[in-house]
Structure 1
Amino acid sequence: MKYRVIIEQDEDGMYVVHCPSLPGCVSQGRTRDEARANIRDAIAGYLASLREHGEAVPPPIEEEIVEVGA
């Protein structure tokens, strides 16, 4: 499953990452790679919790790239 995440660097240099499709699913890391790994774990835990409580799991993203001539 693929979910879109947003990674931003905060004023302390940490990378904060959140998943817009999963409200409250946030993590961070000292590097972009660490933040990405941490959000993967956070998303997995979030989805497991939804399933455990019988709640709906948001569908993964389906993206396409459209090229437009200049």
Structure 2
Amino acid sequence: MSTREKTRENLTAMIEEIKEKLRLVNAGAMKAEHYSLDRFDDVEELYLMVKKKERFSVSEMDAIVSELGNLRDK
């Protein structure tokens, strides 16, 4: 996957990888279709940060999930 191309497929892949890496219990609540391509760069920034880390504290996970929630289309 190339995050350079702003496509729906890449946005979906990034969100799915974030959910996997964080091992979210309620991952079904975070669906890629809830995010517009206008938010691609913001999601990509979170994605790249999540990819770099091996482990996350509870507060880090909460912050990431909260930020993803803020990026969702209303």
Say yes or no: TM over 0.5: no
TM-score, L = length of structure 1: 0.31
- Looking at secondary structure, tell me which structure has more helix per residue: 2
TM-score, L = length of structure 2: 0.30
Highest RCO, 1 vs 2 (Cα 8 Å, sep ≥ 6): 2
Computing the radius of gyration from Cα coordinates, the structure with the larger value is: 1
- Looking at secondary structure, tell me which structure has more strand per residue: 1
